[in-house]
Structure 1
Amino acid sequence: MDLTRRSFLAVAGGAALLAATASAASPAVRPVPFGVTVPWGPLDRAALAARVAAWGSAPRYLLWYASFREEPDVAKLAAVAATGAVPVLTWEPWDPSARNQKRYALARFLAGDFDAYVRRWGDALAAYGGPVHLRFAHEMNARHYPWSVGVNGNTAAQYVATYRRVHGLLRSRGATVARVWSPNVSFTRSTPLAAVYPGDAHVDVVGLDGYNWGTAVRGQVWRSPAQVFDATVRELRTVAPGRPVLLSETASTEKGGDKARWVTDLFAWAGAQPDVTGLVWFDEDKETDWRVASSPASAAAFRAATTL
């Protein structure tokens, strides 16, 4: 068993201990370790402390984003680890400030154009040596990123080959990250997950991103957590049976329904899934106000769900 497996199983084991403790007190409840995104940055301890005080408990995961225009910054990893949380680094192969993203077509990765850059990250991650969940090129099955299947001429086979190549380069430099493969929830015209799954030998954790958009976007409707996740989780259990599942991005809008109830139902739904080992709340005001504290009722529901 390598460091990647040990670090992940330590997290999963903690979840199991929490679940066992909860079962002794209340058989109907299985607490689910939670995490949040950190839009203020992983180095801002004051911002995190203020939110932990509001939530009533500390997150098990802290997630942030790094593009391919950034050099590795292990100080961020160390700062997160110092809080007791697992760093979940979403590594996005693009330049979000550029208009033209053709440079980041998957064919360029397979041609070796980014190998030197990936090796630098591998060296830094190996030198750091601590647990890291690395979520490379997420939501590949939805057509909204330059690495997505169907964008920039990308194919499903190219995605699988790129994912394997990048993680192979990292490991060749001694980096032992937990490899998080993280699709979007399936929808009409999304790429079938089986086509973009890199294989059990290349995935340690299955991530899954899904949101309740409510009526924040025209044409959308309010959807319960079960309606958001059930179908895709069933698909994942066929594609990657036995792999632990982390809801790596999730949240609800306030528009179109009862967000506080949605928060409560999300934790109840996750707690009923034996393979869901945690969830990460997208705590940001972006397309809509996804934040935990978008309303007093939402904040109270989150606090109650995370302090069971």
Structure 2
Amino acid sequence: MTLQISRTISWSAGMLLAVALSATAVSSQSLPAGDLPIGVFDPGGDFSEAKEVSIEHLFLPWEDVFLPSLAEAEAYTAERGRSLLVTIEPWTWTRDERNSPTVLQTGIASGVYDETMKTVCTALGTIKRPLTIRWAQEMDDTTGQFIWAGWNPDAYADAYRRMIDICREAAPDARFMWSPLGFENMAEYYPGDDYVDIVGLSVFSLGPWEKQVLGREQSFDDIFAPRYQRALQFGKPIMVAELGFVGDADHVASWDADVRSKAAQYPELDAVVYFNQQEVYPWPDGFGLPDWRRTQNVLN
């Protein structure tokens, strides 16, 4: 199994859109070609004018976020005909003010965070764009990055259901994405069909690390196929919610050729969303912070 590192970005919706609204698309930027719809997490606004992009991905903490800035996201995506994928992360991005996993888990179970979730989802519910909400992603991660990951699966599923019940009432037109990394134990965290409209998976490839640790670079199929097969058991549409790859020119070209050209092989795959940002959580074995951005992901 290929190790999957998870990530989060300390950008508010307002910061992201302020950059993107003033950005000029970088002419050398490109996205993988193919027939599958593609989206971007793009805080630098590099793909602000990319016609092929149909999904804009935002990350929101549920504390210390300026929710009125979501109006900018609505305008930005409406102008470009894009839908919104919004990942709600149940913490603050101020690292020294974050809760512990125990505080978060017990707080959700006791209702401490009900109003927090309602406030965020009420703001999202005002957005008149096609909207998918992804809460507390990559709960099967084992790196210790996320305070909601690695819980007892039943405790996570209970928390997820509670939060989605609140969010669905506040944003009744939204779809809801349950989004594990896709490891072997992902099904243990499944909250039930009534709480999942689409399954989101994460797929990242760091060629130099794969060569050193795994003995060879991994293809898109090497990483995605087993995760896709596990996700099929839920009978839901599947999306690659976070995608990134770094390597030499041949490695990147191979991934570019594959990731959006697999509709026949993966018929339940609805779209892929590229993570156009540098990593913020260290890759293991001293490989630092890979830069997934399309201007930086080809290594010499």
Same fold (TM over 0.5): yes
* Match runs of 1:1-308 below 5 Å: 31-40=35-44, 47-49=46-48, 52=50, 57-69=51-63, 70-72=65-67, 73-75=69-71, 76-99=73-96, 100-102=98-100, 105-143=104-142, 144-149=145-150, 154-186=151-183, 192-216=185-209, 219-220=213-214, 221-238=216-233, 240-241=234-235, 243-255=236-248, 258-270=251-263, 272-286=265-279, 287-294=289-296
Which whole-Å CA distance do the structure 1 matches of 2:297 and 2:159 have between them?
41
- Secondary structure of the equivalent of 2:259? helix
Change (3 A) 1:174 1:256: closer
Q: 2:39 corresponds to which letter in structure 1?
A: G
Match of residue 20 from structure 2:
none
Change (3 A) 1:182 1:291: same
- TM-score by length of structure 1 reads 0.73
Change (3 A) 1:81 1:159: farther
Q: 1:244 corresponds to which letter in structure 2?
A: P
Change (3 A) 1:209 1:270: farther
Give the gaps of 5 or more residues in structure 2: 1-32, 280-288
Q: 2:131 corresponds to which letter in structure 1?
A: V
CA-to-partner distance for each residue in 1:33-79, whole Å, 9 max, x for gaps?
11111122xxx6xx4345x2xxxx33011112111221434312332
- Secondary structure of the equivalent of 1:294? coil
Q: 1:205 corresponds to which letter in structure 2?
A: I
Which whole-Å CA distance do the structure 2 matches of 1:262 and 1:199 have between them?
33
Which whole-Å CA distance do the structure 2 matches of 1:277 and 1:109 have between them?
32
CA-to-partner distance for each residue in 1:1-25, whole Å, 9 max, x for gaps?
xxxxxxxxxxxxxxxxxxxxxxxxx
- Secondary structure of the equivalent of 1:293? coil
Displacement after TM superposition at 1:170 (Å): 1.6
Match of residue 6 from structure 1:
none
Q: 1:232 corresponds to which letter in structure 2?
A: R
- Secondary structure of the equivalent of 2:276? coil
Query: Which stretch of the first structure deviates more once superposed, 209-218 or 84-93?
Result: 209-218
Which whole-Å CA distance do the structure 1 matches of 2:171 and 2:80 have between them?
25
Give the gaps of 5 or more residues in structure 1: 1-28, 298-308
How many residues align? The count is 250
2:135, 2:177 within 8 Å by CA — same for their partners in 1? Answer: yes
Displacement after TM superposition at 1:256 (Å): 9.2
Q: Point out the structure with the larger helix share.
A: 1
